[in-house]
Structures are given as C-alpha cells and as structure tokens.
Amino acid sequence: MPAFFVTGTDTDVGKTTVAVAMLHAASAQGYSTLGLKPIAAGCEMTADGLRNSDALALLAASTSPKLIYDEVNPVALPEACSPHIAARLANRRITAAQLTGYVRGSLSRRAQLTLVEGAGGWRVPINDRELLSSVAKELNLPVILVVGLRLGCLNAAILTAEAILRDGLKLAGWVGNHLAADWPHAADNLATLNSLLPAPCLGIVPWQPAATPSDRAQTLNLTALSLPTLS
C-alpha cells in the first residue's frame, strides 16, 4: 500500500498541517489512512506520558482502527530542539535503524495511504552521525516536500529537492503552504517553483489560520500520487 515520507524546507513550515490535510483528503475519497511521526521533539508530559501536538493531530486524522499513540510517535522527546540534542538531553541514543524498525512495524497495518512525517528539514540530525533522511532512504519511500512559502523558500526548496534526488529517492510531489497573509510576488515565485521543482504540485494551502483540516484538504489534489483504485 502506498506510503510517503513528508519532509519540509525547514522547521515550522507546516508539515503537519499539510500531512493532516492530505489524510483528510484521502479519507474523504474512501481510503484508509495512517499518519506517523517516528520521532518528535517538543513533547509535553501528560497523564498518559509524553505527547506531541503534531503526533496527536496525525493520530486524530488517521482512520486505521485501534491505533495507539506509541505507534504514531514511538520516540517522544521533551525538549523542543534538534532531535539529536533533544535525545542527548533525555539521555537517549536514537538510531536510524531503530526508527526504521518502528515505521516498518506500523506499516504492517497496510493502510491505503500512509504518511511518515519527518522532523525539521531533510538533513536534520538524529544523533552525532546519522540524519533523519537515512530513515526515508532505508525504507525507500517516495518523498512529499512541504515548501513554506516565504522569502528564501526558492533556494531552500531547490536544495532540498536536489538532496532528495541525490539520495536516490523519488520526489513524488510538493505542496506550498503560505506562512503569512502577504507574500510579495507570490504568483511569480510559485511559477518558479513549478518550473524548477522536478515533481508535480499537489496543491497550495492558503493562509487561513482558522481553516479546518477538511477546508485545507479542498486545496489539495492527490491524483499524482497514484493511489490504488478503490473497489
């Protein structure tokens, strides 16, 4: 069943916003869905243990039955910083092999669309030697790139796309996410992204802070992902 790795041009560019909207778009078409965030830094202690708001949003948007939080987010770290620093502060050693194993276990649920959301950007470290991109490489997942639409995003998007392709992975598509109400020369910038990114645009999410995931799902087109035909 199709699974994709969701990365971003930087941290705080809307990876979760887009991933949740994609899950809603797919489920509205009748697909079973699963959202995963194998490692999350910036978790709050609750009565149920450490919880991350992004992972909780993915859990709520997933239709896979009897899904528990630890399947969505097996590595939860308190400090809101780079995963390798957050892990060190928590006295934990996280490896790409561990994260890959966790994701493979959850993929056994065989949802018709699974999204594995990264942390930060493509080259974020998870320990002193390994990067989170190694997990996507080991799983051989096609990648969906979330471009935070703001000044500087052209360079960040092009460099990230080049790195994904250099790692031997397919860039399945990209989604633009407006990070402010006003983005000068928006049309020209979007035309440049469409011209230079070697993948189809799956949608442009407007700046609408009060929008629901279902609202944002209306701005996306998942056709290019070639999801299975429903019987």
Biggest alpha carbon–alpha carbon distance for the chain: 49
Annotated catalytic residue, options 15, 37, 66, 170: 37
Q: Measure Cα distances from 221 to 144, 155, 174, 182 in Å.
A: 13, 25, 11, 24
Cβ pair 84, 90 in contact under 8 A: no
The count of other CB atoms within 10 Å of the CB of residue 102 is: 21
15 assigned to active site: no
Q: Which parts of the chain fold into alpha helices (H)?
A: 15-28, 53-61, 69-72, 83-89, 96-107, 133-139, 153-166, 186-196, 213-217
Beta strand 75-77 pairing with 201-205: unpaired
SS3 of residue 143 by DSSP: strand
Give strand pairing partners of 125: 131
Task: Sort 95 into a burial class: Cβ within 10 Å, 0-12 / 13-18 / 19+.
Answer: middle
Q: So which residues are the catalytic ones?
A: 37
